[in-house]
Amino acid sequence: MKFHKTRGPQWPSTLGSSYHYLFAILCLATACGNEADSTIVDLYRQGNEFYEREQYSEASRIYERMLQLGFEHGSVYYNLGNAYFKQKETGRAILAYERAARLRPRDRDTRTNLEIANLRTVDRIQIDEPWIGYRLLKSFTIDEATLGVSVPGLVLLLLCIGFVLAKSNATRRRIYRIGVLSAIVLALMGAVAGARFYDHFWAIEAIILDQESPARSGPGDNYDPLFSLHEGTKVTVIEQRSGWKRILLPDGKEGWISRESLSII
């Protein structure tokens, strides 16, 4: 099985090479005396150097350090996923790729590597193909959905002000027509944003990190095991209680998993 982009950590390619763009921004901030950005630049260099020398454990440690410092960029999660994949830590690789996909959902490299990592999982749960509307919805980030509501909302506000201040009926009619169109766009983007926010903040998904974890009938070791899940399996968390999480699988199965066995995406 050929792993996609085995050359090493890659930053996204938008408008040329976004790695060079991002790196230039960090270097400029460093030159202006920002110590935090200087640390990020140094860590980025170290992480890539470790990866190129095939010291994947050290590389993953560096990328984790960047995330701990608050630099949560999709490319960092992507590089982290690559490092964990090389260490055969399938669960952590899938977790990192899933987090990268939330920050850059239209990135082909992230999706390809996530699909390849999922081939290593033991559990084969039948998942229905999502309809095109859901796939389109998932292609937006939270920031993009927010912007999609803010822009037509601001336009509509300005049009309302213009409507009140307009002195001629002809001008008001033109403003009214544009306002109706803006209101329609705002309503559509509001629905997209609402669904995206629900999917991101309330539909809690997690990845199993233990090699094998029993799903029990209740929140405790004294409850009977119902079935077992394995490293890398994606689940939905529907309830939490005293160190246990009740999970739901795409095929409808439910069970309680120890909190230590999984990590929220």
Is the same domain home to 37 and 105? yes
Is the same domain home to 145 and 224? no
Question: Is the confidence at residue 264, as pLDDT, over 50?
Answer: yes
Question: Is the confidence at residue 27, as pLDDT, over 80?
Answer: no
Is the same domain home to 32 and 106? yes
Mean pLDDT of 21-39: 58
Q: What percent of the chain has pLDDT over 70?
A: 83
Question: Is the confidence at residue 95, as pLDDT, over 60?
Answer: yes
The number of distinct structural domains making up the chain is 3
Q: Give the CA count within 13 Å in the CB-facing half-sphere of 170.
A: 0
Q: Domain with 230 in it: what CATH number?
A: 2.30.30.40
Q: Domain with 34 in it: what CATH number?
A: 1.25.40.10
Q: 9 in a domain, yes or no? A: no
pLDDT category at 11 given cuts 50, 70, 90 is: very low
- Integer Cα distance of 167 and 233 in angstroms: 63
Provide the pLDDT for residue 22: 53
Provide the pLDDT for residue 35: 60
Q: 237 in a domain, yes or no? A: yes
Is the same domain home to 198 and 136? yes
Is the same domain home to 36 and 97? yes
Q: 214 in a domain, yes or no? A: yes
Is the same domain home to 55 and 107? yes
Residue type, 263: S
- Integer Cα distance of 248 and 236 in angstroms: 5
Is the same domain home to 87 and 178? no
For the segment 123-170, what is each residue's pLDDT rounded down to a tens digit? 888 776 666 666 777 777 888 888 888 999 999 999 999 998 888 889
Is the same domain home to 141 and 170? yes
Please report the beta strands in the chain, taking only residues with DSSP state E, as ranges in sequence order: 204-208, 212-216, 225-230, 234-241, 244-248, 254-258, 262-264
Is the same domain home to 57 and 112? yes
Please report where in the chains the tokens 């399938």 appear, as a residue: 90
For the segment 210-257, what is each residue's pLDDT rounded down to a tens digit? 999 999 999 999 999 999 999 999 999 999 998 999 999 988 899 999
| Average pLDDT, rounded, for the chain | 84
Is the same domain home to 138 and 156? yes
Mean pLDDT of 84-99: 96
Provide the pLDDT for residue 238: 93
Q: Which of 30-39, 61-70, 201-210 has the highest mean pLDDT?
A: 61-70
Is the same domain home to 37 and 114? yes
Is the same domain home to 89 and 32? yes
Question: Is the confidence at residue 53, as pLDDT, over 50?
Answer: yes
Provide the pLDDT for residue 47: 93
Bridge partners for 238 per DSSP: none
Provide the pLDDT for residue 121: 94
Q: 185 in a domain, yes or no? A: yes
Q: 233 in a domain, yes or no? A: yes
Task: Determine the structural domain holding residue 182 and report its residue range.
Answer: 132-202
Q: Among 92, 118, 144, give the residue marking a domain's end.
A: 118
Q: 126 in a domain, yes or no? A: no
Q: Among 202, 226, 252, give the residue marking a domain's end.
A: 202
Provide the pLDDT for residue 3: 46
Q: 7 in a domain, yes or no? A: no
How far is residue 82 CA from its own chain's centroid? 16
For the segment 177-205, what is each residue's pLDDT rounded down to a tens digit? 999 999 999 998 888 888 777 777 778 99
Question: Is the confidence at residue 21, as pLDDT, over 90?
Answer: no
- Integer Cα distance of 248 and 98 in angstroms: 18
Q: Among 186, 202, 218, give the residue marking a domain's end.
A: 202
Provide the pLDDT for residue 130: 64
Q: 127 in a domain, yes or no? A: no
Q: What are the φ/ψ torsions at residue 115 (nearest 5 degrees)?
A: -65, -40
- Integer Cα distance of 64 and 208 in angstroms: 19
